[in-house]
Structure 1
Amino acid sequence: MTTPAVTRASWTFDAIGTSWAIETAEPLPAVARDAVSAVIDRFDREWSRFREDSSVSALAAGRAASVVLPDDADAMLSIYDELDIATRGAVNPLVGDALSRLGYDARVTLTPRGGPRPAPSWREILRWEDTLTLVEPATIDVGALGKGRLVDLVLDVVADHAPGDVSVDASGDLAVRGTPVRVGLEHPYDPSRAIGVATVADRALCASAINRRAWGDGLHHVLDARTGAPVRAYAATWALAKTAMRADALATALFFDGGPELAASWNAAWVRMSTDGRVEWSPGFDGEVFS
């Protein structure tokens, strides 16, 4: 939940399977809304594994060995390289088939088709130079940071049309320019409670939790790519960074060893809650964690 410091104009809508809220000092003109919609549509057509007509779906189905290189490929996949190293392979952009196997497939059937299976070694089969290429069919899933990247893109578009305070909130991925915003850190086991609050000022806050996109017995969307199984040690994470893409990436990395070290190298702050209820937070966290 967010609490703006001043009254703002709000534009809410649904896109990429989630709810968005964009707040500005004045209502956004139609040209700005159209530009936001165009950016979201382009990103979705390139990266969504839930669309049959997307670039990554064409690669996954083997309809193409390569596709036109998306504008965001290097920005996102270079961060995946850092995530892979920091988490010793736990975060991998080819985790899509492992998610589908457990039921989080393109049709969101939530019906498992077998037990966990490790993701393929992405460094061996994924290339992004002149084209986005897979040596063999596999499903790219940029869920570890893709929504954060899109929040950054939308924020840039909105800021071009709306001087002053701007916030872009995509259901847990929030970027703010201007007046600071206080955000409650939702308890992963009780959405009516918060475990603390964070102050977000000219940066982004992203959260991830095992109670979101969860189904079945212990099944949820945060997988360890090395095993293909859902993580068990941590229930929720929050990361504060200069961009939403980096904050989103860290919110994923914090489910694994190596996440705090990566955050420190990016000068980012974080909070995480283990499944047994213990809470940790980084030095420099701008907020409060309740006892």
Structure 2
Amino acid sequence: MPHPGWQNFGFDGIGTRWEISTPAPVAPALRAGLLAEVERYDSTWSRFRADSLVTRVSVAPGQYGLPAEASGLAALYRQLYSLSGGAMTPLIGKSLEQLGYDPQYSLRPHGAAIAPPAWDDVLEWHGTSLTTTAPVVLDIGAAGKGQLVDLLAGQLRSHGVPDFFIDASGDLLNGGRQPVQVALEHPYDATKAIGTVPLGSGALCASASNRRAWGDGLHHVLDGTTGAPVRTVVATWALADSAMEADALATALFLVPAADLEQHFRFSWLKVFSNGSAEYSAAFEGALFT
């Protein structure tokens, strides 16, 4: 609980645990609206559901209409796709399935890593309009959970709840005025922390190779130019105004030099490498334990 005495609303959604903390209990009608938004988002973007729009896109090429939030996703992914030279891509889904992170959660590789197709070869994505020339497996997991955090925050604010704290299994958004001290999970031991950071009004998102990891060296952060897991970075944290941006940048830090990202985004960051060293931005206000 971020603040003593606050009330907690917990639920499961998009395959993870959520906790929304508020000074007073969330009204039943608002709770229902929040859960409905989670279900709507999942029914569009999940590649693990047979009834989702993303699953339909994976079956047949064509033109598809997307919900309003698609515009923000398209712009952010296209920018990061360009900055990363194709290493960060929403077309990574088939590569994840190839390595065993498939809708059946088999966690057994189906062969060697495969790179996803180039964006412009198979995909036109402009705002809420998506056109594909071949079946493609979209995976917007690098930004989607953060975007859903922002959407739920918008619902809370529109219903007169200005102070709140959302924890979507480590993707955090502080909508209140009071900073919250957050522990930074050790990338090799979830029971320990490597430091702390004060989270004021804004978002903190993390990405780590120990989350959604399986097999020998297999995890969910893949290089879109090869389809293989990134080996040099083990954990990242990004602080930004929106959770969608913080979420996406936490993944981008695995694939793009931080200095390049800083030329285009206003955020602070921490990156931990597989050799145990760490780098962080000048604006990062956290403290690392020695």
Pick the TM interval, shorter chain.
Answer: over 0.9
Is the aligned partner of 1:268 residue 2:245?
no
Counterpart of 1:201 in structure 2 is 200
Q: Deviations over 1:45-72 (max 9, x none)?
A: 111000111111001011x522222221
Is the aligned partner of 1:114 residue 2:111?
yes
Shift of 1:164: 4.0
Is the aligned partner of 1:140 residue 2:123?
no
Is the aligned partner of 1:131 residue 2:102?
no
Counterpart of 1:176 in structure 2 is 174
How many angstroms apart in 2 are the aligned matches of 1:173 and 1:206?
5
Counterpart of 2:93 in structure 1 is 96
How many angstroms apart in 2 are the aligned matches of 1:259 and 1:190?
25
Shift of 1:192: 1.5
Counterpart of 2:147 in structure 1 is 149
TM (norm. structure 2) is 0.95
How many angstroms apart in 2 are the aligned matches of 1:113 and 1:4?
43
SS at match of 1:51: coil
Shift of 1:172: 1.3
Q: Deviations over 1:8-28 (max 9, x none)?
A: 100111111100000001000
Q: Deviations over 1:82-109 (max 9, x none)?
A: 1112222110100000000000011111
TM (norm. structure 1) is 0.95
Q: State how 1:225-244 maps to structure 2 within 5 Å.
A: 225-244=224-243
Distance change (3 Å), C-alpha of 1:30 and 1:170: same
Shift of 1:264: 4.8
Counterpart of 2:161 in structure 1 is 163
CA contact (8 A) 1:159 1:166 kept: no
User: How many residues get paired?
Assistant: 288
CA contact (8 A) 1:176 1:204 kept: yes
SS at match of 2:142: coil
Q: Deviations over 1:203-224 (max 9, x none)?
A: 0000010000000111000000
Counterpart of 2:51 in structure 1 is 53
How many angstroms apart in 2 are the aligned matches of 1:69 and 1:45?
12
Counterpart of 2:35 in structure 1 is 37
CA contact (8 A) 2:87 2:223 kept: yes
Q: State how 1:203-218 maps to structure 2 within 5 Å.
A: 203-218=202-217
SS at match of 2:141: coil
SS at match of 1:84: helix
Aligned residue identity for 1:55: L
Point out where structure 1 has 5 or more consecutive residues left out of the alignment. Answer: none
Counterpart of 2:102 in structure 1 is 105
**Following TM superposition, where does structure 1 have runs of at least 4 consecutive aligned residues deviating by more than 4 angstroms?**
none
Q: Deviations over 1:215-262 (max 9, x none)?
A: 011100000010000000000000000000000011001112334421
Aligned residue identity for 1:242: D
How many angstroms apart in 2 are the aligned matches of 1:161 and 1:287?
33
CA contact (8 A) 2:174 2:199 kept: yes
Deviates more, 1:234-243 or 1:36-45: 36-45
How many angstroms apart in 2 are the aligned matches of 1:88 and 1:131?
24
Percent of aligned pairs with the same residue? 45
Shift of 1:286: 2.0
Counterpart of 1:78 in structure 2 is 75
Shift of 1:160: 2.4
How many angstroms apart in 2 are the aligned matches of 1:283 and 1:82?
23
CA contact (8 A) 2:203 2:239 kept: yes
